[in-house]
Amino acid sequence: MIEKDLVIIGGGSAGMASALEAHNQGIKSILILEKNPYLGGILNQCIHNGFGLHEFNEELTGPEFMTRFSDLIEKNKIEYRLLSNVLSISEDKVVTYSNSYEGLVEIKAKAIILATGCYERSPGAIQIPGTRPSGVYTAGQAQLYLNCYGYLVGKRVFILGSGDIGLIMARRMTLEGAKVLGVAELMPYSAGLNRNIVQCLKDFDIPLYLSHTVKEVKGKEQLSKVVIAKVDEKFNFIPGTEIEFDADTLLLSVGLIPNCDLISKLDISFSKTRGANVTQDMETDVPGIFSAGNVLHVHDLVDYVVSEAKEAGRGAAKYLNGKLTHKGHVYSLKPGYGIGYVVPQRIFIEDAGEQIILKFRVTRPFKDINIFIKENDNLIKKIFKPAIIPSEMEIVKLDKSLFKSLDNTIDVYVEEKK
Amino acid sequence: MIDVLIIGAGITGSLIARKLSSYNLNVHVLDKENDVGNVTSMANSAIVHSGYDPVPGTKKAKFNVLGNSMYPKLCEELDVHFKMIGSLTVALYEEQLKLLENLAERSKENGVKVKLLSADEVRKLEPNISSEVKGALLAPTAGIVNPFTLTVHAMENAVDNGVCLHLNEEVIKIVKNGNFYNVVTKSNSYQAKVVINAAGVHSDQIHAMVEPIDYQITARKGEYFVLDHYKEGLVNHVIFPLPSEKGKGILVSPTTSGNYIVGPSSEINDDREDVSTDKLTLDEVKRQALDMVPSIPFNQAIRTFSGNRPTPSTHDFIIDFAKCDKHFINVSGIESPGLVSSPAIAEYVVNELVSQVLTLTKKESFNPYVRKRIDLAKLSYKERNELIKKDPNFGYVVCNCEKVTLGEILDELSRSVPPRSVKALKKRTRAGFGKCQGGFCQPLVIKALAKHFDIPCSEVPLDGPGSEICKFVTKGGNDK
């Protein structure tokens, strides 16, 4: 059996960034496995700009952003296989993949980084009411047809969900000559970034219906109508608020879910994000198996995917160099009031570097709040936020010296001003 | 001249066609859909019922029990996934225990082996069952089957043995013309000595084209959830509540593909073609299922669907000659337990009814086996590599969720009832059946279909004609 120090599953932004970081840390026996015929993952279909402001201090398109990384992969001669689909990972880190040119291959890896990204919540997953005609797509699926295959799936479009991909597609389809009739959002606030609401909807006079959702999809072979209605605070439809649209296309942008299929049968625990629970080094419950990027938790910006993936690359290098001891004081991180989740879920303080990075999201929009990060009576950090929304991920960098090992739990919670 | 024309390529029509293909007859099948098994045969619970439930003495009871015993051989010949996992009908209240005993009695009358289990015995078999469980009726011969490949392979076997299949042919008129029937569709007409009406939810309408009828078929809609491959052992048997006059109730069951299915509801549907779902009904399905199995992870739901049962006002299957003529045979009202009964119905229709009007001579060349499908999961590491070496397409995974290779897709396209739509291909290969529901692989599937049929992508439908996906090209794009 072929052996590798580090096998990285997924050649998108997380996979490439973690490979480059592990390589920088001296790991030379690396293999990236990518299912598509190209590196870069989903960025290949994200032809809009807005990527790279944090990582490169400039605004790039998705393909430009990912090319910065794939060029470095080539330059550093990091090995990768395209059109190679990983079928399984075993507890003892045997990775089995399949492609047309090598066949079925088993590799014994010393460490693995899972960087398989996420998938879109489907119409079936949200139990969208009505018929199931042609013309209902997830926003990313429509984006794939449009940007990679040259097909416009429809000309009168309604969008359910104000996630970023849906907003981007509202603009994209408008530019291709389609009429976007509106965007409905179940919540009383948008799920997307503010900049996308402005640049993709307001600039094109596309109405956003907050606290609305699809009440019925109509049409037999082809979608003919979408009926939306307003919902109350318990998400029940309010009678008489129905609006009917003559639409041939309904796009769904109703959430992304980490794709953890490959590790779902291993002895690994998962968090509320539906990604694996990880340590400060992005290590899962199985020593030597790491996870980073959207397969861990869905990020708002690819720049943050990259920085997290670098942490995983460093973590894997530490593991391979015998520097992850899992000894000493260990913390569990507990999301409290107003906090949806915190990554990482555990911190081995002895293994941690000088800086510990916490990532979290709030459960709803807040104004003028303090966020507390505390272990027992020790206030590690208090952060004032004049405004905070769930669509933006919060990143906090903390000096290791702030942690006093007083308690096993670190609480992260919101305190509203009275 | 056609000897036998079958209207409807659902499971019943397909198995009748297959049975007829073992004789020297000219057999044709019409279906209004773009694929076989595209209506009721596709949207059901996929359960091979044991037969404890139908009223003793009815056709339902007779064909269910007989059909159940035919499944192992049928599925071996047709290369269809079938597992006899057994069913548990559970009592959640003390007063239901008496009803379980009644069911056990009925089972005896129907000739079905069952066993009454105590609450502890049930919990041992099904650790995730409600703690409220008071007992259950175990029917070990109940099974689960892949209903998609069952119908496809039944028809494929029929076609391999000489049957002609015509899809997208909706019958609008039937005229008796001397000693044959002229069956008129929207675009053609067919002359046949014998017509078999296996038109499912429309079978009363088809029957009414030849004589006045004194019964009707009502569409009774059932809505379902499909859960992802969650993990093994959520339930190990088909779990039923106690049956009521509305049907067998909402079940929770594993599928042959390693998913779980939850449903169906039961509501009268005025529009027989309507297979929409609605929130209130699905919420109720959810509630009732959680009563039996409280830990069902509904956040793992990947699809909802509904199907219409062809419920006859006679309360039993209608399998007989038309009153006016023995050359018109009705196989109507085949609601649950229709799937399990279908092989026995097919035998009966051919041996007992068709034989009265046509001379049946065995076809020497008849082969009951379909060409075996390549099941990659069952191959060893070495065998799989040998296969990929021979045909590299078996190494290229197109559908990431369900791990379907291009080789399997091309193999399906080379078979005698090939898929013509994205949905037809999905039913056969599971490409697009997983958690992303085709979000990633659908364009690749469309390309494979377009290439095989040598048509542009814009002509590949999702399901029937008019459901095309690649409708327009982008600025500067072209339709390849």
State the smallest CA–CA distance between residue B328 and chain A in angstroms.
Answer: 32
The reply to whether B297 touches chain A by the CB within 8 Å rule is: no
Fold of the domain spanning A1-119+257-324: FAD/NAD(P)-binding domain (3.50.50)
pLDDT at B231: 74
Write the residue in A130, A134, A257 that is nearest to B467 by C-beta: A134
Using DSSP's 3-state secondary structure scheme, residue B459 falls into helix
Whole-angstrom distance, CA of residue A253 vs CA of residue A272: 20
- Segment A314-321 mean pLDDT: 98
Is B294 within 8 Å of B180 (Cβ atoms)?
Answer: no
Residue of chain A minimizing CA distance to B403: A87
- pLDDT-based confidence at B246, cuts 50/70/90? confident
- Segment B4-21 mean pLDDT: 98
- Segment B221-234 mean pLDDT: 89
Residues facing A217 on adjacent strands: A130, A226
pLDDT at B229: 84
In this structure, what token pair is assigned to residue A105?
Answer: 């291959």
Record: contact A132-B477, CB cut-off 8 A: no
pLDDT over threshold 80, residue B480: no
- Segment B247-267 mean pLDDT: 94
Record: contact A221-B461, CB cut-off 8 A: yes
Instruction: Choose the catalytic residue: B28, B49, B207, B452.
Output: B49
B166 is catalytic: no
The reply to whether A100 touches chain B by the CB within 8 Å rule is: yes
Task: Identify the CATH number of the domain defined by range A122-254.
Answer: 3.50.50.60
pLDDT at B225: 96
pLDDT over threshold 90, residue B65: yes
Whole-angstrom distance, CA of residue A389 vs CA of residue A387: 7
The reply to whether B282 touches chain A by the CB within 8 Å rule is: yes
For residue B204, report the phi and psi dihedrals to the nearest 5 degrees: -70, -35
For residue B445, report the phi and psi dihedrals to the nearest 5 degrees: -65, -45
The reply to whether B212 touches chain A by the CB within 8 Å rule is: no
Record: contact B437-A149, CB cut-off 8 A: no
> How much is the ipTM here?
0.94
Is A372 within 8 Å of A415 (Cβ atoms)?
Answer: yes
Q: How far is CA B324 from CA B78, B213, B321, B327, in A?
A: 36, 11, 8, 9
- pLDDT-based confidence at A200, cuts 50/70/90? very high
pLDDT over threshold 90, residue B247: no
Q: How far is CA B92 from CA A162, B133, B135, B265, B272, in A?
A: 43, 5, 7, 19, 34
Whole-angstrom distance, CA of residue B145 vs CA of residue B459: 32
Q: Are strands A156-160 and A179-185 parallel, antiparallel or unpaired?
A: parallel
Record: contact B301-A125, CB cut-off 8 A: yes
From chain A, pick out residues whose CB is under 8 angstroms from the CB of B392: 100-101
The reply to whether B279 touches chain A by the CB within 8 Å rule is: yes
CB pairs under 8 A between A and B: 161
Chain-centre distance of CA B415, in angstroms?
19
pLDDT at B396: 98
pLDDT over threshold 90, residue B248: no
Write the residue in A119, A150, A220 that is nearest to B436 by C-beta: A119
Record: contact B302-A141, CB cut-off 8 A: no
Q: How far is CA B364 from CA A371, B28, B161, B164, in A?
A: 82, 20, 11, 19
For residue A134, report the phi and psi dihedrals to the nearest 5 degrees: -70, 145
State the smallest CA–CA distance between residue B406 and chain A in angstroms.
Answer: 10
pLDDT at B369: 98
User: For all residues of chain A together, what is the average pLDDT?
Assistant: 96
Write the residue in B277, B396, B437 that is nearest to A100 by C-beta: B396
pTM: 0.95
Residue B444's CB is within 10 A of a number of other CB atoms, namely 18
Write the residue in B435, B465, B471 that is nearest to A119 by C-beta: B435
Altogether, the residues listed in chain B come to a count of 480
Domains of chain A, residue spans = 1-119+257-324, 122-254, 328-418
pLDDT over threshold 80, residue B309: yes
From chain A, pick out residues whose CB is under 8 angstroms from the CB of B469: 134, 145, 151, 153
Q: Nearest to residue A319, comparing CAs of A360, A282, A356, A361?
A: A282
pLDDT over threshold 90, residue A294: yes
- pLDDT-based confidence at A222, cuts 50/70/90? very high
pLDDT at A59: 95
Residue of chain A minimizing CA distance to B278: A129
H or E, element range at B260: strand B260-263
Whole-angstrom distance, CA of residue B469 vs CA of residue A134: 7
H or E, element range at B117: strand B115-118
Under 8 Å CB-to-CB from A333, ≥6 apart: which residues?
A342, A344, A345, A346, A347, A358, A409, A410, A412
Write the residue in B301, B464, B472 that is nearest to A152 by C-beta: B472
- Segment B127-156 mean pLDDT: 97
Q: Which of B32, B308, B397, B442 to mutate to test the interface with A (most CBs of A within 10 A)?
A: B397
Record: contact B463-A134, CB cut-off 8 A: yes
State the smallest CA–CA distance between residue B440 and chain A in angstroms.
Answer: 7
Residue of chain B minimizing CA distance to A142: B439
The reply to whether A49 touches chain B by the CB within 8 Å rule is: no
Write the residue in B392, B435, B472 that is nearest to A101 by C-beta: B392
Is A9 within 8 Å of A262 (Cβ atoms)?
Answer: yes
Using DSSP's 3-state secondary structure scheme, residue B463 falls into coil
pLDDT tens, position by position, B406-434: 999 999 999 999 999 999 999 999 999 99
The reply to whether A72 touches chain B by the CB within 8 Å rule is: no
Determine which of A20-29, A324-333, B160-169, B224-233 has the lowest per-residue pLDDT on average: B224-233
Whole-angstrom distance, CA of residue A274 vs CA of residue A297: 7
In this structure, what token pair is assigned to residue B10?
Answer: 């659902």
Record: contact A119-B440, CB cut-off 8 A: yes
The reply to whether B397 touches chain A by the CB within 8 Å rule is: yes
Whether the domain at A1-119+257-324 and the domain at A122-254 fall into the same CATH topology: yes
Record: contact A132-B302, CB cut-off 8 A: no
Write the residue in B389, B439, B470 that is nearest to A141 by C-beta: B439
Domains and their CATH numbers in chain B: 2-41+148-216+314-357 (3.50.50.60), 81-143+218-308 (3.30.9.10), 376-459 (1.10.10)
The reply to whether A359 touches chain B by the CB within 8 Å rule is: no
pLDDT at B344: 98
pLDDT tens, position by position, A37-92: 999 999 999 999 999 999 999 999 999 999 999 999 999 999 999 999 999 999 99
pLDDT tens, position by position, B78-96: 999 999 999 999 999 999 9
